[in-house]
Amino acid sequence: MDKQAKETKYTYLTTIACPLCENELLVKRFRQVRMRVLRWDPDHHVWYANDLHPVRYFVTVCCWCGYAAGNNRFSDLPAAEKARLKGRTGGLQVTEAVNVERDDPELVAQCFGHAIRLGLIAKVPASVLGSLYLRTAWFCREEGDQAQELDFLRLAYQSYERAYQEEDLPIGPMTRLGLIYLLGELARQIREFEKSSRWFNMAVRLKEDLIAEPALAKLVHEQYQQMRDDYKKYQEENH
C-alpha cells in the first residue's frame, strides 16, 4: 500500500503491531491540531469541519488474526484477555486497508460490532465496553440513525454504571466527576430522568472536584438544567 498517497493535511499513516499475532498493521491517525471543531455534543462527541469523522477509525482491526479493539487500548492486551481470545477472533473478513479506508458505513458498523463481540468474549472491563458502545452511538448519530444511536447510548449507560460500581477511579483520563457527569448526561439522553437527576445531584455536591475541573463544572450545571427542562417537557407530553 502506498503510504505517501494516503496521507493528507488532516491525517497520517503509521504502523503498529498487533498484540495478539504480532503482525504489523498500517493505520490512519488524525492530526487533531489541524482539525477545526464545529461543535461539541454534551456527551463529548465532536463534530469536525471538512467532513472529517475520526470516530469511524476508533476501532483498530488486525487483518491477519481478526483481533479488534478501540485504538485507546488496542495495544494493551492483558494476558487473561489474550488467553480468552485465543482461537476466537475470526468472523470479520477484511483487507489490509481496513484501518486506512473507512468510507463505507457498513464496514464501520461491522468493525464496531466485531470489537464489541471480542470485548465480551475477552471479558474486558465495563468501562472499555462503555467506550465502545458510546462511540458506536456517536457513529450512528453521524449517520442519522437515531434508533440505533439510542440503543447504543443505553448500552453505554449500563456499562458505565457498572464501571462506577466495580472499577477504581479515575478510569484512564476519566475522573470521578467526569464519570458521574457522563452517567447523568447519558441517562438524560435515554430519558431515564430520575437516574439522571440522581447523578447530577451527586455531581453538584462534589465541590472540590468542581473547582478542580471548571470546564466540566460548567457542563454539569448546564446539563443539569437541561435535564430539568427535558423532564418537565416529558411530563407535560405524557400527562
Q: Is 65 inside any structural domain?
A: no
| Phi and psi at residue 161, to the nearest 5° | -65, -40
Q: Is 139 inside any structural domain?
A: no
Q: Is 194 inside any structural domain?
A: yes
Provide the residue type at 212 as one letter.
A
What are the helix and strand counts (H, E) for the chain? Answer: 9, 6
Q: Is 211 inside any structural domain?
A: yes
The answer to whether the CB of 25 falls within 8 A of the CB of 16 is yes
| Cα 116–Cα 173–Cα 184 angle in degrees, nearest 5 | 70
Q: What's the pLDDT score for residue 85?
A: 97
- The candidate with the shortest Cα–Cα distance to 133, out of 121, 115, 147, 106, is 115
Rg (CA), the chain: 19
26 three-class SS: strand
Residue listed under C-alpha cell 440522581: 198
Q: Looking at the 3D structure of the chain, how many domains does it have? A: 1
| Inter-helix orientation angle 214-237/176-189, to 10° | 20
* CA atoms of 74 and 86, how far apart (whole Å): 16
Label residue 143 exposed, middle or buried (CB < 10 Å: 0-12, 13-18, 19+).
middle
* CA atoms of 107 and 191, how far apart (whole Å): 30
Q: Is 91 inside any structural domain?
A: no
Q: What's the pLDDT score for residue 7?
A: 86
Q: Is 199 inside any structural domain?
A: yes
User: How many residues are given for the chain?
Assistant: 239
Q: What's the pLDDT score for residue 50?
A: 96
Q: What's the pLDDT score for residue 44?
A: 97
Q: Which segments of the chain have a pLDDT < 70?
A: 1-5
189: domain range?
170-239
Q: Is 18 inside any structural domain?
A: no
What is the pTM assigned to this prediction? 0.95
